[in-house]
Chain A
Amino acid sequence: MTNAANELREEGFRFDVEGAFLRRTDLSNADLRGANLRDADFSNAILRGANLEGAILDGTILKGADLSGARVTLSQLKRAVLDKSTRLPDGIPREELSLAP
């Protein structure tokens, strides 16, 4: 985790679910700063309003996931796997993302 991500979390627990199968789970309004979601499958999951600053989304499957209102950057999402049914937060240009079929 980067120093910046470390600074984002004031306390010790770091949510690490690398590679986990978590389809249709609900993490709405969760504080996921600096979390490790690498290669996890969050298809159709609810991440509405979640704070994903500094979170690792490399290879994270977000097909059909609801990210509306989430705090996440375009560069983070470019590393994740999304499709046309993924609900993006405002301000993220869908056309700049390569969507999975």
Chain B
Amino acid sequence: MTSILTIVDTVAKLGLPIAAFIGLYLAWRRVSAMSMQADASLQQAELARRDHVAELFNRAVGQLTHEKLEIRLGAIYTLRQIARDFPDLAEPTYELLAAYLRESARDYGDAEPPIDVREIMKTLRERLAIR
């Protein structure tokens, strides 16, 4: 009778930590799964954001040579913002703006530069500032 009581007591003592361990393990599994899901969501959001920026970039490239000044200006402001917000896209953006200066150079005589040229130079100065 005594030995039965001892066994019951031992099982009771061991059972509690085992139950706690199993509970902790299950909780950890659940947290891991949630964390992986959150990572996947973040990656998806980042991909969607990059797609959106690529679309903005492409649209701005097309608008840069538009005949209407306000559309060209909009494109320049968009490209400036892309260069500021996405460091990995900054270099191609600056290259593109410099190419615009080379290829679309208009003779404006001795007058002040037109606003699109001024705004491009302002954007490029941000990159070319002596640090």
Give A residues with C-beta under 8 Å from B: 11-13, 15-27, 29-32, 43-44, 49, 51
CB-CB < 8 A to B108: which residues of A?
Answer: 21, 23
Whether B125 and A30, one on each chain, are in contact in the complex, defined by CB atoms closer than 8 angstroms, is yes
- With a cutoff of 8 Å between Cβ atoms, the chain B residues found around residue A26 in the complex are 121, 125
Known A25-B121, A31-B128; judge A17-B98 contact (CB<8 A): yes
Contact status B112-A27, CB under 8 Å:
no
Considering the chains assembled together, what is the distance between the CA atoms of A13 and B125 in angstroms? 12
Q: Is the CB of A13 within 8 A of B113?
A: no
Checking B90, B102, B110, B121 against A27 with a beta-carbon cut-off of 8 angstroms, the contacting residue is B121
State A97–B22 Cα separation when bound (angstroms).
87
Q: In the complex the two chains form, is B112's CB within 8 Å of A21's CB?
A: no
- Interface members, chain B 86-109 (any A CB < 8 Å): 90-91, 94-95, 98, 101-102, 105-109
